[in-house]
Amino acid sequence: MDAPRGLARAAELYKQKDKRAKEWKAQGKKVLGYLCLFAPPEIMAAAEVLPYRLRGDLKEPVTKAYEFVEPFGCPYVRNLFDQDLKGKFDFLDGLIMSHSCDMVQRIYGIWTLNKKPAFHYFVNVPHTPAPWSQEFFKREMVFFREKIENFSGNKISDDQLQKTIAEYNRCRALLRKLYSLRKVDPPLVSGTETLQVLVAGMGIPAEEFNGLLQEVIEEISARSQQLAQKTTRLMLYGSVCDDFSLIQLAEENNANVVIDDTCIGTRSFMQDVPETADPLDGLVSAYFTSFLCPRTDRGAEGGRLQYIADLAKEYKANGVVMYIYSYCDPHKFDAPDVKDFLKKEGLPSLIIDDDYTLTNLAAIRTRIQAFVELLG
Amino acid sequence: MGDGKDRNSQGGEKPREQAIFAGVDIGSTMTKVVIWGGNVLSTFIGPTGAEYRLLAHQVVQDALRRAHLSFEDLAYVISTGYGRMNVPFADGQITEVTCHAQGVFHLFPGTRTIIDIGGQDSKAIKLNAEGKMANFAMNDKCAAGTGRFLEAIAETLALDLKELGELSLKAGTPVKISSICTVFAEQEVVGHLADGKRLEDVLGGLHEAFASRIQSMAVPVKIEAPVVLTGGGAKNIGLRRALERRLGYELLIPPEPLITGALGAALLAKERWKKAVAQGLPLNKEKRKLEAAKFYH
Amino acid sequence: MSQVHSEMSRAIKSTQTVRNIKKFIPGFYDRAQRRKIPGTQLVWNMLGTGAEILRAFDLVGEWPENYGTLCAAQQVAMGFCEEAEAEGYNNDLCSYVRNSFGYLRRCRDLEAVPPEAPLGGMGNPSFLLGSGLICEPRFKWFQAIGTHFLKVPVFNDDPMSPPHDADVEDPRIAEHYKAQIRATLRAQITFLEEQTGKKLDMGRFREIMKNSQEAIKYWYQVLELRKAVPCPMGSEDYFTAIIPFLYLAGEPEAVDFYKALYEEIKDRVDRGIGVIPEEKYRFVWLGIPPWFNLGLFNYLQKLGAMVCIESTYYVGEPVELDLTDPVEGWVERTWKTGKIKHKNGSEVNPDVCNPGVFNPGVGGELIKRWVSEYHLDGAIAHRTRSCRATSMGQLQVKNKLAEIGVPLLIFESDMVDPRAWSDAQIKKQFEEFLEIVDTHKKNRF
């Protein structure tokens, strides 16, 4: 039987996200799990380590984690910690975390001291992109590279790093191309399908992801049948969304999710890593200085509001679903200003406050459906 | 029958030129049905019970019987409310937010804000000048600010809900209840009564606290008069007065506060049907039968 | 139970010095008057930036987080929190923040200081000086104020702290962190020079740092003296006594206060005087206290329970500094105290590097040592849902103490929002905990 290709392969990888990583390990190679996007995967990949972005499990109630950590703070991170305690990430050779937010910073110690992964490292990230903070982050990149060299036993030359960055930039360009197919109405690919592709990329080597993306783009461009015409085009904004249940809910209710500003969505690929003489400088720029996430202090106005509105308009969204986790300080501090700004720009928004598991699915469905009815 | 009157399939009198529509509002505690044919032909309210999927069709049957109609007389059916996804004989589902907006604006043209206080949730709906929904806010996460809050207290005090509201009106100096959590508030109430405070004063404070919760919930929609109060909460005179005191003006109450969602659903059924006729689309779900749901959403 | 019903709402202090704190630091309590003096610049500040720097620029400060504690004590915080929620700020957010946002909303809606605001409000700041240290709500706080409420310049400093597995003895790592601490301090100074039009006077700054060092030495000694049995001072005094070092470090008044307090406590220890005559239980306290119910410490004392030391705001061992270059001295102080706290276990509260020598919580290792040094029977932790920065990790400490047979109680409410408090429930938890401590004591001896 032929191996699945394109969207079918993405769907398969979505269901079995760790399959490729386990195959990689079986070949005697190393895999490192990581949380959030401040520790550049390019550095790990340049050392022939497979970077594996940890993914939550919506269906698995958190239990073991509560022996060690409080039942508040980011529910997504608690979910990941719980999975690790239950052995779901035992195939990893180590864990990389970064100072993305308070929760990850605080849990790093609790997690590593209780679960005791064989290898662990924390990339520190300043809160304000001032010049000295950029220098700090550059030094963090130097230390991180050394650490990965020691861990993997492979030297990461500038040359190798530049090649890896170029490969990852090819992924980014292909992802932007894929997204551009959602600008038409109806979009050529659904939000649900797109998310599966994004999640598929979380656990496979960049070269393979590039191949998969090319297949998917070809397949979608050749589609003879359009997706159903719907009344509403939505932007999904907020915390990490790595399960398509929420998107599917919207798409079952006369809406298409056509664009996002989320962690494994556009935030990870809308900009390339600049290909600088010292490759670390490019990484500092893309992963810190220009990385538009509310965990970074960008002064009054947050520096992001116009960007969010422009992105929504570029994709002709007529409404924004703000999907925010319980206890998420960075997003909840910004939410009133984001909502007001979007409203001024003619974009109504709906805030959905969730504990990651969508436990009260009926209530969320009602809100989304009412929002679509309002926009319609 | 030969008397010259237009008869429906059951021999009852059928209003002239009127297609007939049904709105079915399956709430968490009560199921409401409105049959509409130019005006309200019949309404029915019954408890939802634990297995609403098995009972929705029976409620519709009861409503139809009252109007001397049969299921086949219905041109279009819209379901709404908590259980709207499990009504297989409905031609479409619309949220209770939109349905309440429609129903209330029909009863009170010019309404700008609706506050609906149900058994397990409460919501605030803002309408624009044309009566279309412009914004909404909901509380469906916690019991405070819903019917359950008052039911719990009523049970603890062995009073019925009507008494609870009426007694609160007799408060001299309402006692301040500060907890936002139902469990804590209940403890406060019991504590105050144990301290010897008057029941009326404690209930006055309780309704104040409840009104405060409702107001907080509604703040995102920016409450604007005229305000209509619907749902079971509208039947509680103490709550109504507490809200009026907070807002500084009177609230409008529909004659039957529970059916505004079903009424709106029936009116929207008519709208959808007319659009379908105009566009030459299928008018209702083929082979739809008035029966219980066999599958769960 | 509504807070006015709680017998725990008023704290009764036992030391004369703390009771008379207003005489020692009148400026702090009169600050609403000081800012009315023409030409005075008001800065809104927070813990993390270091009080000495305000002193060096003669700035009158106002602290929205301290203001939160005032509003809580005067029972108006709840109203402000509700206003903040009405403005769209979720009630997950820190209640100090929500209190200030509610206050600002009221100011905006009334176009005047709200009548219920204590001290006549928080004044009109010329600029905001915030910090990226301790927790991220801090810098998001002033960023949000600058965006949403007040159009004034905002500067957030950003010193960084190493994670628990960093090798702090490695000179490369040390210089990595010191470079950041130095650069952000210099940037802070530049910002203040721009806002005030004054140049930082290094001589003055040196004197201020010397005062600060002296005040900290006395204060540390006071805390060490609390190891005595019976304990000479409790948390009801501690949580007021921290004010000079948190907000007024560098002022001669702070030195006088801590010196007087040290003398009073030393005298008590010499004479064997404790806060309560019979101590059945000695505890360590973790977390921020419920500012609206500080009387809970007196309540515990009635049950024979004495809190002898607190992990929150713990000043840590003083370090010797070379203040020839006071800026460099500051950097050294931050790094050195950071290293000490790092060694004491920073696995849950890594923000040890703090120019203001503040620490939201100490690590499990230090608390374990305290058990023997302070002769402790258990620990009480206040879990504040709206402050996850200080309450995360209490479970980790609980697990660590369980290893040595010491029980820890976690009870839940909030530091400023009284709606989270339940008198009946919390009293019950205290009573049950004391029974557990009794059982453990029997098993240990």
Q: What is the largest CA-CA distance in chain A?
A: 58
pLDDT of residue C231: 98
pLDDT of residue C273: 96
Mean pLDDT of C14-37: 92
Average pLDDT of chain B is 86
Q: Rounded distance, CA C374 to CA C279, Å?
A: 13
Of the pLDDT bands very low, low, confident and very high (cuts 50, 70, 90), residue A276 is: very high
Highest mean pLDDT of the ranges A240-249, B25-34, B286-295, C346-355: A240-249
Q: Write the DSSP assignment of A107-126 as a string of letters.
A: HHHHHHHHH--SSEEEE---
In this complex, is the C-beta atom of A119 within 8 Å of any C-beta atom belonging to chain C? no
Please choose, from the candidates C299, C360, C330, the residue with its C-alpha nearest in 3D space to the C-alpha of residue C133.
C360
Query: Tens digits of per-residue pLDDT, C356-394?
Result: 334 445 677 888 899 999 999 999 999 998 998 888 889
Query: Can you tell me which residue has the tokens 């058994």?
Result: B119
pLDDT of residue C360: 44
Query: Tens digits of per-residue pLDDT, C127-160?
Result: 999 998 888 999 999 999 999 999 999 999 998 8
| CB-closest option in B82, B98, B141 to A370 | B98
| CB-closest option in B121, B133, B140 to A373 | B133
**Does residue B295 carry a pLDDT above 80?**
no
Query: Tens digits of per-residue pLDDT, B202-243?
Result: 999 989 988 988 988 898 899 999 999 999 889 899 999 999
**Does residue A373 carry a pLDDT above 70?**
yes
pLDDT of residue A274: 98
B138: nearest CA in chain A? A367
In this complex, is the C-beta atom of A106 within 8 Å of any C-beta atom belonging to chain C? yes
Mean pLDDT of C104-122: 96
Higher pLDDT, A144 or C397: A144
pLDDT of residue B184: 77
Edge-first strand listing for the sheet containing B113-117: B133-139, B122-127, B113-117, B227-230
Query: Tens digits of per-residue pLDDT, C206-245?
Result: 999 999 999 999 999 999 999 999 999 999 999 999 999 8
- Note which residues in 246-275 of chain B have CB less than 8 A from chain A: none
Question: What's the token pair of residue A64?
Answer: 């073991």
Mean pLDDT of A309-331: 96
Mean pLDDT of C92-100: 96
pLDDT of residue C358: 40
**Does residue C3 carry a pLDDT above 50?**
no
Percent of chain A residues past pLDDT 90, beyond the cut: 91
* CA distance readout (Å), A334 to A296, A347, C139: 11, 16, 12
The ipTM of this complex is 0.95
**Does residue C184 carry a pLDDT above 60?**
yes
Question: What's the token pair of residue B251?
Answer: 């609230």
Higher pLDDT, B42 or C7: B42
Query: Tens digits of per-residue pLDDT, B112-126?
Result: 999 999 888 899 999
Average pLDDT of chain C is 90
Q: Rounded distance, CA A319 to CA A376, Å?
A: 10
- Note which residues in 293-322 of chain A have CB less than 8 A from chain C: 294-295, 297-302
Question: What's the token pair of residue B226?
Answer: 């005229």
| Closest CA of chain B from A374, distance in Å | 6
Query: Can you tell me which residue has the tokens 């290293």?
Result: C339
Are the C-beta atoms of residues A320 and A257 closer than 8 Å to each other? no
In this complex, is the C-beta atom of C166 within 8 Å of any C-beta atom belonging to chain A? yes
Are the C-beta atoms of residues C279 and C226 closer than 8 Å to each other? no
Contact A299 C146 (CB under 8 A): yes
pTM here is 0.93
- Note which residues in 188-217 of chain B have CB less than 8 A from chain A: none
**Does residue C277 carry a pLDDT above 60?**
yes
pLDDT of residue C5: 56
Average pLDDT of chain A is 95
Fill in the amino acid letter for C408: L
Q: Rounded distance, CA A36 to CA A38, Å?
A: 6
pLDDT of residue B1: 45
In this complex, is the C-beta atom of C163 within 8 Å of any C-beta atom belonging to chain A? yes
